Structure formats: C-alpha cells, structure tokens
Structure 1
C-alpha cells in the first residue's frame, strides 16, 4: 500500500502505469473525454451555408478544419497543456491553483494568521519557489489577483454555458436528421404532389423541436443515476461511432473526390484569407466547432492519465476525425463543385453529415448519431456539475446540494438544482432558436472563450510555475492566442445571430458568482473584526454565570483564531454551552486533494479543564469531506488522537506556529485514538491513559431542544466511550448523544 500523499506531492510518483492499464484507461476515456469531440462532425459543415462552400471554397474550409484539429487539440492540449497538471488534476481551476500556490495571487478569504496556521508543516502547498521579476510584479499589484480570479470564473462560466448549449445543439441536429429521414420515407409512398408537400410541412414543423425537447428531458432526467451507472455504455458507443464515421469518410474520399487530400496544404488557408470577406469570415465561427470538446482532454485529466489520453487521441480520435471531415468535404465537392453526375440532393441539405452516408446504412447512422449525441451532451453536463462543485470550494457559488454518484471517481457528482436549471435553459434555447446555425454560433463563442482563458493561464504557469523565460511564455501566448483570437473575431461577427444568448448567460452567471464571493469575503472580514478573544470564553465567562451542559457541541465558524461574535451573543442570551465544545472550521487550500493524514489541525482553546477544542478541516477543490455520513466521527477521532498525542508527548504542541495546533491524521483501530465500534450505537474507545479515563470521558446526554415549532428538525446520534479490553486500567463506559441538525 502506498504511503499517504502530502498536499504538495504528485500522485504520479507512486503510479507505475503498465501498457495494459493504459489501454484500459484509454478505452474507458473514450466516452468521457472524447464523447463531445467525436460528435462535432454532426454540425460543423451543417452550420456553413451552401453559398459559402461554392467556388471550391470547401477545399479551403477543410484546410482550416485539418490545421485547427492539428494545432489546438493535438499540439496545444495533447502535447503541451497536459504537462501542466496539478497533482494529476486538470482544468481551469488546476491552472489557477498552481498560480495561487506559486505566485501568492489567491483571493480566498483567509487572513495572515490563518495562512500561518494552515501552512506551517514541511511539504506545505504554500511552498514558494525562488523569486523572479514576473512573480514579484504579479504579487505586488492587487489588480492582477482580481484579474486572475476573474479569468478563472470566466472560464467556469463558459463551461456552464457550454453545458447549456451543447445538449441543445447536438440533440436538435440529430432530430433534424430524423425529420429528413422521415421525409425520405414519405417519398416512398405514392402520394400526390400536394399531399407530399403537406406531409413534408407537417414533419418539418412538428418533428424536430418536439423530438429534441423529449430527448433533452429524458437526458436531464437520467442525470440522477450518475455517470458511473450509465457510463459503461459510453465507450462502446463512441468506438462504434468513430469507426462508422471514419469508414464513411474513407468511402466518400475514394468515391466522390480523392483530390480532397491535397487540401491539407496551408496554401488553401492563405487563399481564403487573401480573398476573405465579412460574410465568409463569419463562417469560421462554424468551422471552430470541429474542436468542440478539446478542453475535456485537460479537464478530465484527474479521472485518467496523460498517457491514456494521448494514446487514444493520437491513435484513434485524430485520424478518424480527419478521415470523417475529408470524406464529408469530398461529398460536398461532388455535389457543389459543378460535377455533372450530381444526385437529387438539395443544395441546402448537402452539408448535413446524414446526406453523405450511403442510403443502405443511413437508418443505422441515425440510431448511432442519437446515442452519440447523448454521450457528448452527457460529458458537458457532468463537466458543469464538476466546475460548480469546485466553485463551491472557492466560495464563489451559492451553497447547493451535491450528490456523489460514484465511490471510486470523486469527480462524478450530481447537483439536482443545477441540473433542472440547465434543462430549462437548454429547452428554452431549443424552442426559441430552433436552428442549429444560431445555436452553433453561441456554442462556438463559448468554446473559443474558454480556450483563450486556458491559453492566458497556461502562459503564466510557464513563466511562474515552470520558471521558463518570459520569451517562451510570450511565444505560447502569441502562437495559440492569435489563432484563437482569429476565431473569436469570427464568432463576435455572429453576435446578433445567436451569440448574444451566451453573453446574457455569462452576465447572469458572473453576477451570481462575483456577488456570492464578495458577500463571502465581507462576512469573513466582519467575523475577523468582531471576534472575541479565547480568554473571554475560558476565563471571563465563568464569572458571568455560564453553566456547562452535558454533551458535545459542534460550533461552525470561518475564523481559526478567537471566538466568533455570534457565539458570544449566544452565551449572553443563553448562558450555557456543552461540557465538550469543538469549534470546527473548513478551509480550502489551492490543491486538488488533501491526504487524510494531513487533513485535520486540532488544538485546545484555553486550559485542559475547560475541554474546549478547535478543529480546522483542510480540503482541496476536489475533496468532498462534508458529504460523508461519518464526518462527526472523524472529528471526534481527531480530537481523541490529539488528546493521546498531548498526553504522550506534550512537546508536540510546540511544533506549530501558534503553539497549539498540530496535524492529526486518521487514526486506525490499532492506534491510541477514538475509534467507532460497529454496533447498535456508535462506540468510541479512548486512549490508554488513567488521566484520560478520569478527565475526558463522561456521560454526555445533550438536553432536548425547547420544542419551538420554528426550529429545524434535529437527529440524535448516540455516542459511547469505553476503555479498550486490554487496558490495565479499569474499563468504564460512558455514553451520550450529540445533536445533528438536518
């Protein structure tokens, strides 16, 4: 068994990945990582008007598709950005976390004393590298701190917006293909011309939108089952889908236009730019959709490994997508390039991927495309849940209920409130726009904006974390930023055609995040300014006639020094508190995860006889410690471990910065800690110390609440304390109940 990881260590140090394990992870990652990227051919050329593809313009657009796939997903993400992992985690918050740790730019609501308490031990995540001119400049200007936080939140909003737009785009594109298939089936019947036209009007009016809305409702309703239950079918679907579209693309290359291979030459892009106009430049916003889902290669890094993601992309995804787009461009070339053997396909339907599929297998394609679109949409919805969960750790999103759908993959979460909001927004855009092109314009703006955020943060990571020269950082920013800025300008030209919806969604989401973060910081500063000294509780309160009630009390507070002001108001109005009092604080650190051995900081408040403790629970942006059912047991065990360490070695308490707080790990059943016993009640064993048996164990039934109808319901948890069976001291059992407010 591997030793626990420290907050600053990388899990890759202990991971010896075999080729067998890499292949297994590669297969599992097909549905999660590449589900979105693989369905992009459904709507890339479909959103380009037939007029823009005439005069051999399709060669130029395919050249843009090829080089965009090569430069952004392959070179930028698969080769470079994947190296900037944060202890195996990826995504916008991973880059922001690296900058917070190595450049002191974090704006989390912690005061100086809090940072001293949280980061005193060896191997702390706050360890700073050597000073550099760039680091000093960023740390000096407070405005740069706010700018980086804004970039992190902006990138998060783009992911949330993508979670709204992608399901609507992919599902509506499939439903439109279903409508065309039904029209073709109707042509097989011997209807009159007027009847056939009436049937086509009915199908075009009543099939796409109702079918898309029904699929969207089913998709969001299934979210509560979790990715771990429905995800086992993702990888096989993507494998079959990738093989199918690459095979169709290869068939179209040889059957329609083998010369399309020469279009990979950059000269075609140069010819496009030389003769470009505003109308044709807008079409680049649709071509941008070919890299939709590339961000998932980095964002889902924590669930897989670098090697598995790279192997899958290099060996399967990249060549399959190139063949698919080349085949579709060859099909368009045959039908719009002036060839004489043109079939009966309408010009406005030539750009649809469905039309490029041979008729004998077109119905199979429709079924596959439906399942593939669901897989791609599922990936973006799950990413929205994950990014909101990370925003909760930063104090930048209102507190919502988070349900963990997997015991093995901590990143798979389900947020009911957010799920229904996303569903309503997706249905609204589907019904109001009812056009894949308009939805695609908004989706393209969300994609390229998120990629620009990654490029900016990555350039800072190169300079501040990797400590490379500013020239190299600037080259990365200019090379990739210029390409993404080009696509951004094309998307902004389509602002009035649908991209405005994303801006409205961005403003709405950013107002929520920034307002909540502002309120969180203000509340924390108020608590700091109005906190009461510990001496007031341990020395002055007995003179005020405060009595100690039997039981164990948990008091939540954001501050880690002193007594919160609300507790002093409570004592003033109701002069009583529990015989064992624990002040619990949750503090987020800019790391993905905190190992259990370094999660708890425990100390006393006042002398031993007061039995008042402080427990600081540290967690990373990927930890979910508050959602465990035995969380109170873990805190009680940490207190017991602290008491044991205090009795055995009093000098251990002097190792911390303030002389009281020490790191307490998760004790095992063989240690001298409080360990719960599996039974009808929760049994906890105390250390082998006669002083502890006399001083720290006691009967602790908490008094029943007064029964006010306005109070929240309280669940009672029975707790028992006993000495171990092999203890040389007298065994005594003491029990009580602790309140758990639900």
Structure 2
C-alpha cells in the first residue's frame, strides 16, 4: 500500500483507506472520524481522519499526482499551494502526542535497565565497590550509551528504513537486494540468525524485567524475599493471558506511565548527584580506559554487564515504522537519555558513599516511604517493556511468514483502529511456556543477566554488518567512509559480544540455543518450500500449452468461476488437473491465483493485483503483499473487480491442493530436516483460514509429493 497522506483543510481528496497513517496509529486517542467531531465541516471525504487540536484533517490516498515526487511514507500537504511533509503539517501538540506514544512503546526495555545494570556490573567477579571502580564502570556506561545507542542507532541505523519500516528483517531485505551470489546467501543467514536471537530476547526480557521489579520487595524487608518469585509469575501470567483481548484500551496509558517512570528515574538520580557531585568525573573517558587497563580480565567481565544498559536499543529501529524517526529521536534526546544518565550517575554517587548499597542500588536511591509506590511503578514499567517485545515477536513472526521463512499461523487483529495491533495465539502461548520455564529455572534477575547479554550483543553485531552493505549500496557511501564507520561500531560490538561469550556456561547458552532452534526452523521451512516448488514443477504441464489445448478441445463446462491457488506461474496447478481428472468438467471461467510476498513492508492497492487474460476462459491473477500485511482473498477479489474482472462469491469455488509430503532419500535436504519440514507443514494453518477464503466455497483436493 502506498502510504501517502493528503492534508486537507476544507475539502479533501478521495480516500481509499480509512485508517490513520502508520506513524500516528499507535496513539489512537489523537484521531477520530469526522462524523464523530461536532462542528467539523461536512465536505471532508469519506474515510478522512481529523487530528484534534490541529484544525486539519488527513485522508489516506493511493496516489496524488502533485505529491508523486515525495518518498513513500511521507505526507503531502497542499496548503496555499505549498507542499509540506507530515511533520511540517502537524502542530506541536500532535507531534508531542506521537512522541509520548513512542515513549510508551519504544523505550520500555532500555528504560527499565537501571533496575539491574549497575548491580550486575559488580556481580560474579572479585571487583570491590570502590570510588575508582564505580567511576570506571559509570564512564563505560556513559560512553556506551553515547556511541552505541545515540550515534549508532539513533543517528546511523535509523537512516536504514525500508519504505518507512525498520527492524532486522527490513534491514535484511534491504541488504539482500544489494547483495548478489554467495553474499546474498550470507546476508540471509545473518538476518535470519539476528531475527532468531530476537526470540531469545522476547523470552528473557519479560522474565528479567519483572523479576528485577519484584526484587524491590527484598529491600523493604528480607522477609518478603519469598514473595518475589510468586509475584513475578502472577504478573507474567496475567500479561500473557490478556494478550488475546488486545492492548488498545490500555495502550494509551503506556506513554504517560513511562513519562512518569523516566521522570522518577531522573529525580531519584539527581538527588544523589547533588549530594556527591564528584561522580560527574565519570564523564571523562580516561576513567573507563584506566579501569579496563588496570583490572584486565575482571574489567572485561564487567563490560559484559555494561551492555545491559543498552538492551532495547534495537527497539528504536524495529519500531520506526510505527512512529517515524523524529518522535523517536525527540524522546531520546529530550527525556530518555537525560533520565537514564541521571539515574545511573545517581546510583554511582550512592555507591561511592555507601558501597553496601550494591545489593540493590536502584531501590536504595529512594527513601523508605517511597519504596512500595516505586515497586508498583517499576512493575508497570516492566510490564510495558515486556509488552513491547511480545508485540515485536508477533510482528517479526508475521514478517517471517510473508517472506517465506515461517509456516502459516493464525493472525488476529485486536483493534479496528490500529493495523499493527495483532495477536498470534501460537506465538503467545509458546512465549508464555518459555518465559515460565526460564523464571522457574533461573529464579532471579542476577542469574538471567548473563543470558541476556549474548542475545543483545549478537543482534547488534549482525545489525552493523548488514548496515555496511546498505550504506554502500543504498546510500552510495564511498567505501573508505563506510568501512571507517562500520569498523568503529564493529570494534565496540565485538568487544561486548566477546565479553558476554565468556558467560556461555553460566547462562549465555540459553539465547544461543533458542536462536539456533528458531534459525533451524526458519531455514528448514524456506528450503523445504523451495524443494516443494521444484518437485511440483518437475513434471508440471506447461500452462500455455494446457490452456491452448483446453480451448481447442474443451471439456464439459459448468456455470460459475473456479479459483485455483498456485505457487507457480508457468505450470498447471495440481488441483486443476485433479479436478479435471475426477470430475471431467471445467467452470466457465478459470482463475489461477498466485500470492507473492514482497521485500517491502507495504504494497500500494494500485499495485496489489496484476491480471493477465490467457484465453477466453482462463485468467491469471498475481497478488502482491508486503511483509507487514496479511493477505486477504476478499480484498483481492474487490481489486480485481475494479480492474474489470468481477466475481460473484456465491458462484465462485476455490480449489486448493492439500499436499501429503513424504520424506525421501532424494538430494535436497538432510533426512531429519525433511521430516521436520513435513511436521511443520502438517501443523501449518490451513490456507483457507490464513487467506480468509469463505469456507463454504472451498474444495480441497489431495496430492502426494515426495521431497
């Protein structure tokens, strides 16, 4: 879908879609249909949306001739004959609303890192809590936030948008287009493994975040330690159980809650900094260098914990498509970064005066009367952080399905207003089981810290490698510049990853095991589908000769239309051959429908369907969908009707092949992978349900295929 928004004052352009632009959708309270706003002029087009407080309305359109030179995912405003982008058209109030929404979704993970990061930097090795060591670790945290999050992600990686979308799969798609030959295969392997590591992150983040929040009970009184694990389990169980209802009703609270959270972080830290201003010496990078040189191996282990301050950096890029670059950058520079630095330095100031506070420096920043409210606020913040990665897992899985790396699964839309609000039952229950196992096995945030780092640093390392390809091919950077920039980040990423690799046997194996398992599933599904297509086309009858034969020697015809779903454009679908073999008839009109998953997030409605008339009775229809979209057969039929190929649903039958796959010794894949692919195929969602085909109009015909 072409995502171009026309800003209209009194009169609007014709709109094809009635939903807010993706950059605004996550803040539903900002937008309403014109007919629900008293006093709004009635001339606005159907499907328009009015932005409160701006005096302007937005209508989503496919193409506007006067905006054709603007990039996709920007807005065009013809006001007084001048073009404006979406941000120019917005009022400050609207931009503040989007930034607040971004705060509640993007920064939950990195925003809850102060709960455990500094404590873990001194855990598991012999480093004493001395002022010099505190300053050294604080200096590493400060410069890591500056180099990795601010420069690498906020300024550099956010440039790599795939038609407005971000995330590791989007970056892989961009890099894959630019690469060729063996390099393309390497890009796919890197991208898939980076995506696979995210699932490890999606399991560990809820566990470590909620556990660290509940551990504040121990600070109130040691007697409450026994309640930490039960409280964490109850909170996590409730979080996953409410997923099927969607978060639209409470999602508007995420931004204000995180605003309060970051404000609290800043205030707690500032009080200690004022009392111990010497802590600001950690801004000098020489303290970090001196710490690394002086302590060697122990400092390297501490570096593995410093990376916990960076967890969630990938979310800045992954959520770019929902909010846009500007709100994400505004939130980071104006609130998130200052609040994080104030809190980390406040914890450091506390440790410089009271080394015994290392048992939980975050909660010990607060006065005793504020502990219980702070625990409640921290629990809410960690739930929001967990929700962000759970939603990210849904989104990533849908992308993998559309790109052909994952079998079909159920996708339910939980909000009529927000297209990104989806729920995937299989993913949800799988995550719930995995998170519960992890919580019960590790029991504390400290035990999970080692596992967390490898997932984060592995994804960061892969992102940098893919970004180099994009910088050279898409941005046309000279090789010396691209090498210099990415080499700088690679040195940092490799250092962090190596430091965490030392913790492989103390928990670091967990995300690697999860990543390897998910990568194997994705790679097996992709290769299995390729082999399946090869087997189907090996003995397939050429389509053109078949059509010519059917027109020259037509079989008996029956009224109506038959639609055959097929994965190949040049061969006759097995379902069509079986229908002709057993029923000896054809419908008056035969439509061969092929679905294509594109390497772009959205496909414009005008480009969604391509129709070719093969003969008087045969038609070929190709439907194109981006990796952020869910295919819908009814939408395809409607678009075909707009192009002259009309369907009467009650006179249309849909024919699908139901393949029975057999593992064989033929070359292609290892036998165990073939058996795994067969199992995945059996458990994939039926095409009828995934493509939203009317079940009472479907005919399934069996076919046995040897892999």
1:283 deviation in Å?
A: 1.8
Distance 1:517 1:171 in 2: 35
Q: Per the alignment, in what secondary structure is the counterpart of residue 408 of structure 2? A: coil
Q: Is 2:505 the partner of 1:485? A: no
The answer on 1:369 being equivalent to 2:378 is yes
Q: Provide, for residues 166-212 of structure 1, a one-character-per-residue CA deviation record: whole Å limited to 9, x for no partner.
A: 000011112222243243xxxxxxxxxxxxxxxx3xx43x3122221
Contact 1:551 1:737 in 2 (8 A): no
Is this contact kept in 2: 1:714–1:741, CA < 8 A?
no
Give the alignment of 1:64-143 within 5 angstroms: 64-101=140-177, 103=178, 105=179, 139=180, 142-143=181-182
Mapped contact 1:592–1:622 kept (Cα < 8 A): yes
Please say if residues 563 and 653 of structure 2, whose CA atoms lie closer than 8 Å, have aligned partners that are also in contact.
no
Q: Distance in 2 between matches of 1:305 and 1:53?
A: 44
Distance 2:311 2:695 in 1: 54
SS in 2 for 1:504: helix
Instruction: Find the aligned partners of 1:529 and 1:218 in 2 and give their Cα distance.
Output: 51
SS of the aligned residue for 2:263 comes to helix
Mapped pair 1:269 → 2:288? yes
Verify the 8 A CA contact 2:220 2:368 in the aligned structure 1. no
Match of 2:260 among 235, 240, 254: 240
CA distance in 2, matches of 1:7, 1:532: 44
Residues 602, 638 of structure 1: 8 Å contact kept: no
* Partner SS for 2:532: helix
Write the distance in 1 (CA, Å) between the matches of 2:268 and 2:699.
Answer: 59
Partner of 1:251: 271
Alpha-carbon distance between aligned partners in 1 of 2:143 and 2:187, rounded to the nearest angstrom = 30
TM-score, structure 2 as length reference: 0.79
What is aligned with 2:119? 46
Structure 2 residue aligned with 1:218: 238
| CA gap 1:3/1:535 in 2 versus in 1, 3 angstroms | same
Distance in structure 1 (CA, Å) of the matches to 2:569 and 2:174: 24
Distance, in Å, in 2 between the alignment partners of 1:9 and 1:553 is 39
* Cα distance in structure 2, aligned partners of 1:635 and 1:435: 50
Q: Does 1:288 align with 2:363?
A: no
- C-alpha contact (below 8 Å) 1:7/1:591 kept by paired residues: no
User: Contact conserved, 1:702 with 1:737, CA < 8 A, in 2?
Assistant: no
Paired residues in the alignment total: 592
Q: Is the 8 A contact 1:165 1:426 kept in 2?
A: yes
- Report what 1:109 is aligned to: none
Instruction: Please report how far the alpha carbon of residue 594 of structure 1 lies from its aligned counterpart in structure 2 after TM superposition.
Output: 0.6
Per-residue deviation, 1:405: 2.4
Question: Structure 1 residues 714, 76: closer, same or farther in 2, change over 3 A?
Answer: closer
**Counterpart of 1:16?**
86
What residue number does 1:412 align with? Answer: 421
The question of whether the paired residues in 2 share the 8 Å contact of 1:524 and 1:558 is answered with yes
* Partner residue, 1:163: 202
Structure 1 residue 332, shift from structure 2 partner: 1.0
**Structure 2 residue matching 1:52: 3-state secondary structure:** coil
Deviations 1:575-621 (A, max 9, x none): 22322221111111211111101110011222x2xx22111001111
Cα 1:150–1:411 shift into 2, 3 Å? farther
- Alignment partner, residue 474 of structure 1: 483
Give distance in 2, aligned partners of 1:418 and 1:54: 42
Q: Distance in 2 between matches of 1:701 and 1:39?
A: 54
Asked if structure 1 preserves the Cα contact closer than 8 Å seen for 2:350 and 2:361, the reply is no
CA contact (8 A) 1:87 1:592 kept: yes
Counterparts in 2 of 1:382-401, with a 5 A limit?
382-401=391-410
Quote how far apart the aligned CAs of 1:246 are.
0.6
SS in 2 for 1:275: helix
The CA distance in 2 between the partners of 1:639 and 1:427, in whole Å, is: 47
Structure 1 partner of 2:104: 31
Contact 2:357 2:364 in 1 (8 A): no
C-alpha distance 481-535 of structure 1, shift in aligned 2 (>3 A):
closer
Does the 8 Å CA contact 2:105/2:388 hold for their aligned counterparts?
yes
Q: Whole-Å Cα distance in 2 between the matches of residues 9 and 516 of structure 1? A: 34
Match of 1:538 in 2: 547
SS of the equivalent of 2:592 reads strand
Alignment partners' CA distance in 2, 1:463 and 1:16: 29
Give the equivalent residue in structure 2 for 1:4. Answer: 62
- Structure 1 distance, partners of 2:381, 2:189, is 34
Q: Which residue of structure 2 lines up, in the alignment, with residue 653 of structure 1?
A: none
Residues 123-165 of structure 1: CA distance to partner in whole angstroms, max 9, x if unpaired?
xxxxxxxxxxxxxxxx2xx221111001111111121111100
- Aligned partner of 2:697 in structure 1 is 739
> 2:637 aligned with 1:618, yes or no?
no
1:403/1:703 Cα in 2 relative to 1: closer, same or farther (>3 Å)?
A: closer
Note the C-alpha offset of 1:353: 1.0
Cα 1:533–1:266 shift into 2, 3 Å? same
Higher Rg = 1
Change (3 A) 1:741 1:296: farther
State the SS of the aligned residue for 1:573: helix
Structure-2 separation of matches of 1:358 and 1:737: 62
1:570 Cα deviation (Å)? 3.5
Tell me what 1:175 maps to: 214
Residue equivalent to 2:637 = 636
Query: How many angstroms apart in 2 are the aligned matches of 1:525 and 1:7?
Result: 41
1:240 aligned counterpart, secondary structure: helix
Q: 1:528 maps to what in 2?
A: 537
| Superposition deviation, residue 8 in structure 1 | 11
Tell me, in whole angstroms, the C-alpha distance in 1 between the residues paired with 2:70 and 2:403.
19
SS in 2 for 1:395: coil
Partner of 1:135: none
Q: Is the 8 A contact 1:260 1:330 kept in 2?
A: yes
3-state SS, counterpart of residue 591 of structure 1: coil
**1:618–1:572 distance in 2 versus 1, CA, 3 Å:** same
Pick from 433, 456, 466: which aligns with 1:424? 433
C-alpha deviation, 1:95, in angstroms: 1.8
- What's the counterpart of residue 354 of structure 2? 335
CA distance in 2, matches of 1:173, 1:150: 34
* Contact in 2 for aligned 1:552/1:738 (Cα 8 Å): no
Question: Contact 2:591–2:618 at 8 Å: present in 1 too?
Answer: yes
CA gap 1:98/1:702 in 2 versus in 1, 3 angstroms:
closer
1:624–1:305 CA distance, 2 compared to 1 (3 A): same
String of CA shifts for 1:304-339, please: whole Å, max 9, x gaps.
121111111111111111001000111111112xxx
Query: In 2, Cα distance between the equivalents of 1:737 and 1:279?
Result: 63
Q: Is the 8 A contact 1:26 1:309 kept in 2?
A: yes
Structure-2 separation of matches of 1:588 and 1:347: 54
Question: Structure 1: which 5+ runs fail to align?
Answer: 106-138, 184-199, 337-345, 645-673, 677-681, 683-698, 706-711, 720-735
SS in 1 for 2:393: helix
Deviation at 1:276, TM superposition (A): 2.6
Within 1, Cα distance between the matches of 2:448 and 2:70? 42
Q: 1:403 aligns with which of 385, 403, 412?
A: 412
Deviations 1:553-577 (A, max 9, x none): 2211111233124432342233223
- Determine the C-alpha separation between the residues in 2 that align with 1:353 and 1:713: 51
Measured against aligned partners, the alpha-carbon deviations of 1:248-292 in whole angstroms (never above 9, x if no partner) come to: 10011123x210011110011110121133233112111111111
Deviates more, 1:496-505 or 1:221-230: 221-230
- Tell me how far apart the structure 2 counterparts of residues 66 and 407 of structure 1 sit (CA, whole Å): 42
1:600 and 2:609 matched: yes
